Structure 1
Amino acid sequence: MMGASHAVSGAAAWLFVAGTGPVTLGLIEGVDGPGLGVGAVVAAGAALLPDIDHRSGTIARSLPPLSTIAAVVTEKLSGGHRRGTHSILGLAIAMFGAVLAARIYVPIGDFGSYYVGAGIGAILLSAFAIRALELVKGRVLAWVASVSLAAIVVIFAADNWVWFPAAVAVGYAAHLIGDFITTGGIPVMWPVVIKPPKWWRKSPILSDVWKASGSLSVPLLGNAGSAREKVLVSLLTGWVVWAGAYNWIGVNLLGWAA
């Protein structure tokens, strides 16, 4: 999947999991309207996290030079693009890091405790989403928009920090699923990578599922950026608009069809 597609899928997945309207699961307790909205942006950014292993990708270009350095280091540690970060282990590490970040707080007298770790994480993740979706132009505006959203995160997380690691997990998982259903696939069990035997590689169908590299794929969308991917993203964008309108303003945009 392309960067913008991942961001949209992350936001859609969050609204589906955390939303409380029809055809949503409502699995994340204590998430109200503001938390749902901020969580959607954080999940959109987290849906780009696996591609931090790509030094020329969206993340590397989001908040340079910090993002560029992080991408280069991660690429080397994970074995290259679509390797370690595109696995269950990568998801587990991201969730662990998000939980730790969400528990970092600063007590401020009678005003309570403010979870600045979630705020710092939101700066990075929202910058990824902003860059991928081209919501603003230029590095300065990207920083301003990201820091502004992070301030909202810190205030909201003063009473509830659980949603932050949940949004990271949902967004990250959405990325893995998105790449899993494209031609390239992902090394699900990395660093354990088992390559298929030669006879398997010669089969035009089997080799698409269990690839010569050891990655697994169910290529429903074909190659990244395909027409099928664009159709899916259009549907997901419509879902985000509908679910957002229902959860935030209580309006069912499809009420006329009932």
Structure 2
Amino acid sequence: MLGISHALSGAALGLAVAGFGSSLVEVPATVGSVLTFAAVCAGAALLPDLDHPSSMATRRFSWASMVASRVVRPFSALLYRLTRASRDTGRGTHRGITHTALFAVAIGMALNLASARWGEPVLLGTLFVCLALAIKGLDALVPGPPSLVIAAGLTYGVDQWVPGGTAGTAGWIGAAVTLGMLVHAVGDAVTESGAPLLWPVPIRRRRWYPVGSPRPLRFRTGGRVEALLVAPGLTLATLVLAVLVVPGASALVLEMRDHVERFLTRS
């Protein structure tokens, strides 16, 4: 899928998990914790493409992300060569280790431990990186560094002004990263190429088996199905979920509706 679809799917999943999940485990959700979780999930849904030299994840942070990509790609290729089965084909660089469930879980666990140990620096750093990726569409209007400034401003705003801030996500923010990376891989799995989600489980004599949906349900990246159905559907789902699960959002929407009705009545 295109980057915008990946980010929207991550945002929708993050809102659903943070909003409804907090009720299931009986942990009070704050505006800050829900928005932080959703934003991190949205940005993390672009991270797996760090294994592609021209992806947004690779180009987003200049030399830093390019260096990270140049580490990830040969590492993924090495793992591919060491673990491939008799029917595996390809090089294991793009849609390799970063598109697997095992890698997503490992990154998430590492971030959970780091955020529990060091707290705010890890939380703010993760939120900034993921916000910068999630708002990548702004590059069409504000090229380059200004969008990073926007991400920095939003990170500061969530931490300082939004009720609850980022503090409530310490120890579990890695779950948002894991879910974002997984929803990316699932999104790729429903396109024509598939993704090796279940590596290293052997399937049909392949350890890097490209898991995918039934062929009649697959669509081409950037094609009409994605442009006319998938992206609009994800946008609507994200907006509806935001109203449903962000504390106070539904009341704000109802208040705005009342203001509009009063204005129209006076007119």
TM-score of the superposition, structure 2-length normalised? 0.75
Residue 89 of structure 2 corresponds to none
Q: Shift of residue 44 of structure 1?
A: 0.7
Other-structure match for 2:265? none
Please say if 1:83 is aligned against 2:96. Answer: yes
Extract unaligned runs of 5+ from structure 2.
78-92, 258-267
C-alpha displacement of 1:221 = 3.4
- The equivalent residue for 2:210 is 215
Q: Give the superposition deviation at 1:213.
A: 6.8
Selected match of 2:226 from 224, 229, 240: 229
The alignment-based identity, stated in percent, is 30
Map of 1:57 onto structure 2: 55
Task: Say which SS state the counterpart of residue 184 (structure 2) adopts.
Answer: helix
Query: What do residues 151-176 of structure 1 show as CA deviations (whole Å, max 9, x unaligned)?
Result: 35655233441452232122122112
In structure 1, the gaps of 5 or more residues are 106-113, 197-209
Post-superposition, which runs of at least 4 consecutive aligned residues in structure 1 deviate over 4 A? Answer: 24-28, 132-136, 152-155, 191-196
What residue number does 2:240 align with? 242
Could you tell me which residue of structure 1 aligns to residue 114 of structure 2? 101
- Residue 54 of structure 1: CA displacement? 0.9
Counterpart contact for 2:104–2:177, Cα < 8 Å: no
Answer yes or no: is 1:119 the counterpart of 2:124.
Answer: yes
Question: Structure 1 residue 189: deviation in Å?
Answer: 2.8
Whole-Å separation in 2 of the counterparts to 1:89 and 1:166: 13
Whole-angstrom CA distance in 1 between matches of 2:103 and 2:31: 30
**Preserved CA contact (<8 Å) 1:186 1:216:** yes
TM-score normalized by structure 1? 0.77
Choose between structure 1 and 2: higher helix proportion: 2
Q: 1:165-214: CA deviations, max 9, x gaps?
A: 23212212211211111111111233456555xxxxxxxxxxxxx9x973
Specify which structure has the bigger relative contact order, considering alpha-carbon pairs within 8 angstroms and separated by 6 or more residues.
2
Alignment of 1:32-43 (within 5 A): 32-43=30-41
Q: Is the 8 A contact 1:55 1:68 kept in 2?
A: yes
Residue 171 of structure 1 aligns with an amino acid whose one-letter code is G
Q: CA deviation at 1:30?
A: 3.6
In the alignment, is residue 158 of structure 1 matched against residue 153 of structure 2?
Answer: no
The range that moved more, 232-241 or 147-156, is: 147-156
Larger deviation: 5-14 or 154-163?
154-163
- Which residue identity lines up with residue 214 of structure 1 in the other structure? Y
Structure 1 segment 8-47 matched on structure 2, within 5 A: 8-20=8-20, 26-27=23-24, 29-47=27-45
Q: In the alignment, residue 220 of structure 2 is paired with which amino acid?
A: N
User: Do the aligned partners of residues 221 and 227 (structure 1) sit closer, same or farther apart at CA in structure 2, a change above 3 Å counting?
Assistant: farther
Name the aligned partner's letter for residue 226 of structure 1: G
Match of 2:260 in 1: none
Task: Give distance in 1, aligned partners of 2:141 and 2:64.
Answer: 19
Q: Which moved more, 1:55-64 or 1:30-39?
A: 30-39
Give CA-to-partner distance per residue, 1:45-97, whole Å, 9 cap, x none: 01111111111101112111211111121111112010111111221222123
| Residues 104 and 116, structure 1, Cα contact 8 Å, conserved in 2 | no
- Inter-partner Cα distance in structure 2 for 1:153 and 1:130: 15
Q: Partners of 2:23 and 2:188 in 1: how far apart?
A: 25
